[in-house]
Amino acid sequence: MSREIFLIAGLGNPGEEYAHTRHNAGFDAAERLEKRLGLTLRKKLLLRGETAEWSDGEKKVVLCRPLTFMNDSGDCVKRLVSWYNCPMDHLLVIYDDIDLEPGRLRMRKSGGPGTHNGMRSIVEKLGSQDFPRLRIGTGDRPAGQDLVSWVLGHYPAEERLKMDQVFDLAADCAEDWVRNGADHAMQLAAKGGKN
């Protein structure tokens, strides 16, 4: 009997210069899952990302970090979905959101990409927006600051602890989504991801 497939994609930009920046919140959440589950993400050239697999009972779960750079995330995610023949409601995308306060989480079963270029790329490549997503609040830029420098910037020291906690909560929500479904994980995100 074949196991159900679940895909979790944490978005970000590859390379040390982007590590732990606001735009890499999805990578940071994926890293928490990787560590807590004892996984090692390995590069899959065909998928244009790093992946690791594990079993959760009768469910096979694939964790992925796209290596395509944020604005082309859809290429990796489309390849991933096609390779594993995964239904849309079994794909969870984790990413940063400047419209949420730092330290907040919001999960939805579907919806538009908003202003997020990585999500725009995914929606365009998949031809669908009917997949779950978990947004990690990073806060909006101060008035007058360039958006690109803001999202590619690092958290100030006073926010770093809060963000470390929310990355753990995001990993909790992703695991909960696999085990208990989107509705349950949405409640967990709403309860746990508050300041």
**Which residues form the catalytic set?**
23
* Rounded Cα gap, residues 48 and 80, in angstroms: 9
C-alpha radius of gyration, the chain, whole number: 15
* Rounded Cα gap, residues 170 and 97, in angstroms: 13
Q: Which residues of 25-41 are buried (b: 16+ CB within 10 A; e: fewer)?
A: bbbbbbbbbbeeeebeb
* DSSP secondary structure letters along 165-183: HHHHHHHHHHHHHHHH-HH
Helix and strand tally (H, E) in the chain?
Answer: 6, 7
Would you say 151 and 23 are in contact if contact means Cβ atoms under 8 Å apart? yes
Number of Cβ within 10 Å of residue 22's Cβ equals 25
* Rounded Cα gap, residues 97 and 84, in angstroms: 28
